[in-house]
Structure 1
Amino acid sequence: MTNEYAKADLEHVLGEVQEQFKAIAEIQQARARLTASASVRKLATVTVNANGTVVDTKFGPHAEDASLNELAKAVTEAAQQAVTEVTKLGMELMAPVQERQARLPKLSDLLEGFADVKPQAPVAPPVTMVPLAVDAEEPVMEFSDVETFTPERGSGFTDSSW
């Protein structure tokens, strides 16, 4: 009789997993269409896709009066704001799947004596939002122990004797 309960529990979990896969596929489709835009001081509006790639940039009516430096800063700031927004929207899309996953029983709940497996994914460090300084005085790599290679004509696969 206990085996029947375990079997029913396992079938329920497998059904839930299938629903998770279906929900994830739907979320992936929605995410593929996801964009966010941000405007800064009526100078620039930047739109990014779900990957944070800039897909559109527009300059506002006051752009002609701004310096190139001000425009560059406005575009950068707008892009950063748009990426922050699209990231938030992407996380909101995933929330129902994460909630459903939290309700699923653990493996140890289904199989007595079986340890829960929780792989620890590495946490990516935050990426920089400022340009990296390039040192113009960086030494150039030079190699002194090199040999010159000159291929022999007529001994390769392009030789006409083939």
Structure 2
Amino acid sequence: MTNETAKAQLADLVEMVQGSFAAVARAQRDRARLTASARSGGRRVTVTVNADGVVIKTEFSADIGELTYSEIATAITAAAQEAAVQVKQKSQEILAELQAEQAKIPTLSEVFPLMPDIQAMMPTPPEVSMAPPNAAERRAPDADAGPRFENVEEFEHDPEARARTDAATPGW
């Protein structure tokens, strides 16, 4: 009886996972079709972006000539940024629906108690800056530094260098 119960639970789990894959595919399709448009410069500039925030269309109204080149450039940037924010919000709504569906599936640590919760270990990505190049918020104190480890033992990977150390000599 216990074996039959386990088989039924496993079958339910497999069905849930397959449904989750279908939901992921649907969310990916929905996200790929997303676009967003925003206007700026007194509604003289309209920019449309795709799901990745890439500009796919830029339109100017008939009275665009009333703006200076600098004002047009600023309006394009502002409209593109606003459209990117809109498309990101739409993407997050799709992702939230997907996450709600996937929350119904037990984690590996729930199925196998000794297994760590891998999802909880994943780092969250930082917010992407909308600041222009060389802005203060884009400068990081140590941008290319990797993870820092403390209380570790150094190990020389080069066999020839290891042979030259006192600890590796035959008479040690």
**Could you tell me the TM-score, scaled by structure 1's length?**
0.74
* 1:46–1:78 CA contact under 8 A, matched in 2: yes
Deviation at 1:107, TM superposition (A): 3.0
Over 3 Å counting, the alpha-carbon distance change for 1:122 and 1:108 in structure 2 is closer
1:50-69 equivalences in 2 (<5 Å): 50-69=51-70
Report the counterpart of residue 28 of structure 2 in structure 1.
Answer: 28
Report the counterpart of residue 130 of structure 2 in structure 1.
Answer: 129
User: Residue 64 of structure 2 aligns to which amino acid in structure 1?
Assistant: A
Deviation at 1:129, TM superposition (A): 1.3
User: How many residues were matched structurally?
Assistant: 133
Aligned CA RMSD, in angstroms, stands at: 1.9
Segments of 4+ moved more than 6 angstroms: none
Question: Unpaired segments of 5 or more residues in structure 1?
Answer: 135-162
Report the counterpart of residue 170 of structure 2 in structure 1.
Answer: none
* 1:38–1:81 CA contact under 8 A, matched in 2: yes
Say whether residues 1:39 and 2:17 are aligned partners: no
More off after superposition, 96-105 vs 113-122: 113-122
Secondary structure in structure 2 of the residue aligned to 1:103:
coil
More off after superposition, 31-40 vs 3-12: 3-12
Secondary structure in structure 2 of the residue aligned to 1:56:
strand
User: Residue 79 of structure 1 aligns to which amino acid in structure 2?
Assistant: A
More off after superposition, 45-54 vs 58-67: 58-67
Residues 22-47 of structure 1, C-alpha deviation per residue, up to 9 Å, x if partnerless?
Answer: 11112212222111000112121000
Over 3 Å counting, the alpha-carbon distance change for 1:86 and 1:65 in structure 2 is same
Deviation at 1:108, TM superposition (A): 4.0
Report the counterpart of residue 118 of structure 1 in structure 2.
Answer: 118
Report the counterpart of residue 140 of structure 1 in structure 2.
Answer: none
- Bigger-Rg structure (1/2): 1
User: Residue 2 of structure 1 aligns to which amino acid in structure 2?
Assistant: T
* 1:107–1:114 CA contact under 8 A, matched in 2: no
Question: Unpaired segments of 5 or more residues in structure 2?
Answer: 136-172
- Supply the distance in 1 between the matched residues of 2:109 and 2:127 (Cα, whole angstroms): 34
Over 3 Å counting, the alpha-carbon distance change for 1:105 and 1:95 in structure 2 is same
Report the counterpart of residue 87 of structure 1 in structure 2.
Answer: 88
Report the counterpart of residue 144 of structure 1 in structure 2.
Answer: none
Identity of aligned residues (%): 41
Secondary structure in structure 2 of the residue aligned to 1:95:
helix
Q: Choose between structure 1 and 2 for higher RCO, CA contacts under 8 A separated by at least 6 residues.
A: 1
Over 3 Å counting, the alpha-carbon distance change for 1:121 and 1:107 in structure 2 is closer
* 1:27–1:93 CA contact under 8 A, matched in 2: yes
Q: Where is the helix percentage greater, Structure 1 or Structure 2? A: 2
Report the counterpart of residue 6 of structure 2 in structure 1.
Answer: 6
**Could you tell me the TM-score, scaled by structure 2's length?**
0.70
